[in-house]
Amino acid sequence: MKAIIQRVKSSSVTVDGEVISEIKQGLMCLIGIGRDDTKDDAEYITRKILNLRLWKNEDGTKNWDRSVQQMDYEILFVSQFTLFAQLKGNKQSYHLAMAPELSKQFYLDFLENAKKSYKPEKIKDGRFGAMMDVQLINDGPVTIQLDSKEK
């Protein structure tokens, strides 16, 4: 399982001209599900996202000290099978991504676990399988890549 985590001042997802999800300060996370991913991979990614120390402490004297949970910020998750793209010349292949008929439930279970592990009202997401317009205002910018197979 892969994640691209971006610290944001705000982020939103629009589908067919309608904003379906938005957050203020927090994290916007692109989530890719691989064909060999398991519940353990999803739990690892969730734990890392919730506990990454990406903000300063309260008095601003220590960088990289506080997590999204400690800051009480929001998280916007966006499913992104293209994180598993493999290039063959100039053409991409997605054979390492989990099949759509399996990955949708896996993604929904991942979201449910994130809600149980944090605060359900702080977890937002896009629309699985939809063409989405994702907007964000980076905070930093700070971008972290995670791969559950590289623990």
* Residues annotated catalytic, as ranges: 82
Q: Which H or E run contains 129?
A: none
Q: What is the largest CA-CA distance in the chain?
A: 50
Residues ≥6 apart with Cβ < 8 Å to 108: 128
Residues 11 and 96: their CA atoms lie apart, in Å, by 28
Q: What are phi and psi of 132, to 5 degrees?
A: -120, 145
**Residue 72: both structure tokens together:** 């009480």
CA neighbor of 124 nearest in space, from 44, 33, 37, 25: 25
**Burial (CB count within 10 angstroms: exposed 0-12, middle 13-18, buried 19+), residue 13:** buried
